Amino acid sequence: MSLISPEKSSQPPFDPLLEQICEYVVGPLEFSEEAYATARLCLLDSLGCALQALNFPECTKLLGPVVPGGELPGGARVPGTSFELDPVQAAMNLGMLIRWLDYNDTWLAAEWGHPSDNFGSLLAVTDYLNRIPRSPVRGLSSAGQLFTIRDVLSAAIQAYEIQGVLALQNSFNRVGLDHVLLVRVASTAVSTRLLGGTPRQILNAISNAWLDGGALRTYRHAPNAGSRKSWAAGDATRRAVQLALWSLTGEMGYPSALSADQWGFEAVVLRGKNLTIPRPFANYVMEHILFKVAYPAEFHAQTAAEAGVLLHPLVKNRIDDIQSIRIETHESAMRIINKSGPLNNPADRDHCLQYITAMALLHGDVTAENYEDQAAADPRVDSLRTKMNVVECPQYSIDYLDPEKRSIANAIQIQFRDGSSTPRIEVEYPLGHRRRRTESIPHLQNKFRTNAGTRITMERVEHLLSLFSNAEQLDAMPVDALLSLFVEA
């Protein structure tokens, strides 16, 4: 049943998918304990990624208000800085920091993406509402009090679910659009609810999010791969909050934004193909999210990095003796990160399977610094890349799409000039996979310790880790109180 009756006889009802998203967003916040436990890890990991990104000038030059002096005292905070901003620009800052190093969590399906990008809008909106007394919707949480971390976790489960379920069968990258389209849609829906929007206002906002279309994927691929891929998600969360706020003013929506003949999203972008969702919205995506635990690298290369690190002790003293390197991978990796030729910048390098593998073999690790120009200047890197033969393993491609497996496999074997070879090292599931979740938790905590420790004292880092280990205490904490622990002293 439609939530909203048409305002005019000539106006169609809202598209069923828009209705489904809205009904889910305004429905009961009843999710599994596994989903909430995973959401806490996602929040911790995202904030750690944001703090580490502050060490990179190419990121920090874009932070702050749009124009110098355009801050909002008492507004939403940006972790690791002294900025206080309106929620639109705060979402941009937060989303950009979380995403910058390609180290936040991942979702792989027909369309891949990074659902933790949505924290940019969710944290900005709730921190703003808790801190601005003059806001007419200040503190409108589900309990009628200040927004708590539990509210943010519930909102994150919803945003992850909307983005991830829409990605299961709908592939926008194959028509040239960037996956941050789904970040904008998910963040718009949930941000409008957090801001106190009615079902009609949520529908209006979502319809506008779809009408925005999508950014071209040009900046993710050679020869144009560049830093925009690191701020595109922040831009999506920024737009989401803006659309949500406009909706609250009474700005209209567009009921057949998806299905309109000739001009709708499905007609224009999908060339007449309908958007589909294969399962109802619940908490499936949060339960199955993939963490980048050990390596800041494109996710299809995570298991290759792990295999390379395992091979490092066998090759570190024989680099010059290597004759060839065989990498067996899956179709998505072949299409997205299989690159030859010059790599122009860090954004190009962290999306190159061969480069990531070379760093793992050379150093026994892969770090964000490995993508900078100084590291890339090591002549051994390109020498190893020229010796790599990347081939698709059909079974890996099948298992990648199998909903019961969702493996992201890579295998590496190295041949030496004297005819000897290393063992063939195969890694099917990366450390951050659900099948390795328990194993991952200590590593995620150490990842946060390393990332956050670059910007705040270790005493505070340990306090935060203790806090995140106490679910009851963390969930009850107001959002602004938690973010105050991340603010620049």
What span, in angstroms and rounded, lies between the C-alpha atoms of 195 and 198?
9
pLDDT class of 488 with cuts at 50, 70, 90? low
| DSSP states along 358-405 | HHHHHHSS--GGGGSHHHHT-HHHHHHHHTEEEEE-HHHHHHHH-TTT
pLDDT of 195-225, one tens digit each?
Answer: 999 999 999 999 999 999 999 999 988 889 8
Note the pLDDT of residue 235: 97
Domain extents for the chain?
Answer: 16-287, 299-430
Cα separation, 369 vs 296, whole angstroms: 10
In whole numbers, what is the pLDDT of the chain averaged over residues? 93
Cβ(69)–Cβ(89) below 8 Å:
no
Residue 453 exposure: Cα atoms within 13 Å on the Cβ side = 10
Which of 285, 248, 275, 232 is closest to 403 using CA atoms? 285
Q: How far apart are CA 332 and CA 164, in angstroms?
A: 17
**Type of residue numbered 426:** E
CA 56/CA 61 separation, integer angstroms: 9
- DSSP three-state, residue 98: helix
Q: How far apart are CA 132 and CA 128, in angstroms?
A: 6
Cα four-point dihedral sign 245, 250, 255, 257: negative
Q: Using alpha carbons, list the distances in angstroms from residue 211 to 159, 315, 353.
A: 19, 52, 35
pLDDT of residue 9: 43
At residue 321, φ and ψ (nearest 5 deg) are -90, -5
Give the residue with greater pLDDT, 51 vs 298: 51
| CB distance 253 to 204 below 8 Å | yes
Total-model pTM? 0.86
Burial 140-172 (b: 16+ CB within 10 A, else e): bbeeeebbbbbbbbbbbbbbbbbbbbbbbebbb
Element of type H or E holding 185: helix 180-194
CB neighbour burial string for 92-117, b if at least 16 within 10 angstroms, e if fewer: bbbbbbbbbbbbbbbbbbbbbbbbbb
More confident residue, 412 or 103: 412
CA distance 402 to 332: 14
> Most confidently modeled of 213-217, 235-239, 348-352, 484-488?
235-239
Give the whole-angstrom CA distance, residue 381 versus residue 365.
14
Q: How many residues does the chain have?
A: 489
What pLDDT digit, counting tens, does each position of 164-178 carry? 999 999 989 888 999
Provide the pLDDT confidence category of residue 20 given band limits of 50, 70 and 90.
Answer: very high
Bridging pattern class, strands 322-329 and 388-392: parallel
Counting residues of the chain whose pLDDT is more than 90, the rounded percentage is 84
16-287 matches 299-430 in fold:
no
Residue 369 to residues 52, 206, 325, 347, 434: CA-CA distances in angstroms?
A: 11, 38, 24, 12, 28
Task: List CB contacts of 336: < 8 A, sequence separation 6 or more.
Answer: 298, 300, 351
Q: How far apart are CA 53 and CA 13, in angstroms?
A: 44
On the question of pLDDT at 292 being above 60, the answer is yes
Strand order in the sheet with 425-427: 388-392, 322-329, 410-416, 425-427
* 2 pLDDT higher than 60: no
Q: Which residue has the higher pLDDT, 221 or 411?
A: 411
**How many angstroms separate the CA atoms of 85 and 241, rounded?**
13
User: Do the beta carbons of residue 313 and residue 363 sit within 8 Å?
Assistant: no
In this prediction, residue 4 carries a pLDDT of 55
Quick check: helix, strand or coil at residue 429?
coil
**Other beta carbons less than 10 A from residue 412's beta carbon:** 27
Which of 7-11, 119-123, 225-229 is predicted least confidently?
A: 7-11
Report how far residue 174's alpha carbon sits from residue 273's, in angstroms, rounded to the nearest whole number: 13
Confidence of residue 279 (pLDDT cuts 50, 70, 90): very high
Q: Which residues pair with 107 in a beta bridge?
A: 113
Three-state secondary structure string covering 193-204? HHCCCCHHHHHH
Superfamily of domain 299-430: 2-methylcitrate dehydratase PrpD (3.30.1330.120)
CATH label, 16-287, candidates 3.40.50.10800, 1.10.4100.10, 3.40.50.970, 3.30.70.20: 1.10.4100.10
24 token code pair: 């889910």
pLDDT of residue 347: 86
Name residue 469's amino acid. Answer: S
